[in-house]
Amino acid sequence: MRFGVVVAVLVAVGVCLVTSGAEGALTCGPKCMERHERIKSLRDKSDSGMFRIDNALYKDLVMTKPRNYNTIFVLNALNPRRGCKVCRDAYEELKIVATSFYRAFPEEKDNWFFATVDMDGNEQIFKKLRQQSILMYYHVPPTGAPAQHSQQMVGAEEIVKYVTGLTGKKFPLHRPTNYFMMIVSTLALAMVGGVGYLVRDFLKKLMWESDLWAYLALAFVFLMMSGHMWLQIRGAPFMPNGGGMFSDTTQYMYGIESWVVIVLYAGITFGVIMINDFSRNAKSSTQSSMYLIAGTVITVFFFAYLVSCFAHKYRGYPFRFML
């Protein structure tokens, strides 16, 4: 009987110790709560929920223990002097991801924070992380050291998968509505519909034109070969914020790049049609020769420019053609 009482007392004491230890692990403490409030205020001051951290904030809010929150940050180079267009795009994409995450899980707003670390002025952070590259993503858990993601990311879709893997919560991506494009698209659709109604008799004749269907088939082929549909699925921006047309990385592409490719393919095709079709149906040998020369020049020019664009996109491509 006494032995049973002793065992019961020991079990009760053990349970109390484990419970108190767990509560002690979960308690943050005054300093920890003060850091939590500071990082929440930084988040609240941002429209998207993502904020910038410097050397002092990194040391005090991100790395100092104890802490009861997670931080996801990216190493970036946003200074315009560096001319990194992809960096600005990655920054905007991470803002969209942060907004989407908080929109889907408002209860996690105080548990997960999104930030960016700029290369200029924060060299100490790069040094501590032993990192010289940008667009590298890190997760800092409540306990433990920063964990680096295995690859660079630019598109929001890739970042969503990364955040989902960390949080265990799948969420949809909500991009801001472009009302200007909606208005332009609606007006353009109304104009096309109005013109189509006025020339409906002429359109009936066009339905039986074989050349028309051939050109439409070519347009569809150009659209698919240019990667335009892939960009529509990924929701890539039409142009970089800093100007220009081409992305600096082979892993990303802007909408304007696909249109450049469409124009180049169309130019090459038009040149071949001139050589093969126009010259054959010419009324005289002189006109046929002109079509042959013009078609050859057009084909060579657009093909040379296509090879030049490919070499610009894929650094180290060894071949050139005229340009």
Query: How does pLDDT run across 135-148, given as a tens digit for each residue?
Result: 899 999 998 889 98
pLDDT band of 249, cuts 50, 70, 90: low
Which of the residue ranges 5-19, 96-110, 175-189 would you say has the lowest mean pLDDT? 5-19
Position 312 scores a pLDDT of: 74
From start to end of 43-104, where are the E strands?
A: 50-52, 70-76
Give me the percent of the chain exceeding a pLDDT of 90: 21
Position 47 scores a pLDDT of: 81
| CA distance linking residue 65 with residue 121, whole number of Å | 24
| CA distance linking residue 98 with residue 108, whole number of Å | 11
Handedness of CA 100, 102, 103, 108 (dihedral sign): positive
| CA distance linking residue 127 with residue 7, whole number of Å | 55
pLDDT band of 248, cuts 50, 70, 90: low
Output 71 or 28, whichever has higher pLDDT.
71
Output 277 or 114, whichever has higher pLDDT.
114
pLDDT band of 243, cuts 50, 70, 90: low
Q: Return the structure tokens found at 52.
A: 């910038």
Position 251 scores a pLDDT of: 67
With 80 as the cut, is the pLDDT of residue 233 above it? no
Chain centroid to Cα 192, Å, comes to: 32
Q: In terms of residues, how long is the chain?
A: 323
Output 26 or 50, whichever has higher pLDDT.
50
pLDDT digits (tens, 9 = 90+) for 82-96: 888 888 889 999 999
Question: Is-contact 71 115, C-beta < 8 A?
Answer: yes
**Mean per-residue pLDDT over the chain, rounded:** 81
Closest CA to 151 of 169, 168, 136: 136
| CA distance linking residue 2 with residue 5, whole number of Å | 5
Mean pLDDT of 53-64: 90
DSSP string, 251-275: T---HHHHHHHHHHHHHHHHHHHII
Spatial strand order of the sheet with 50-52 comes to 50-52, 112-118, 70-76, 136-140, 147-148
Question: Is-contact 73 138, C-beta < 8 A?
Answer: yes
Please report which helix (H) or strand (E) contains residue 137, including its range. strand 136-140
**pTM score of the predicted model:** 0.53
Position 162 scores a pLDDT of: 92
With 50 as the cut, is the pLDDT of residue 9 above it? no
DSSP string, 201-218: HHHHHHTT-HHHHHHHHH
Position 250 scores a pLDDT of: 65
Position 285 scores a pLDDT of: 82
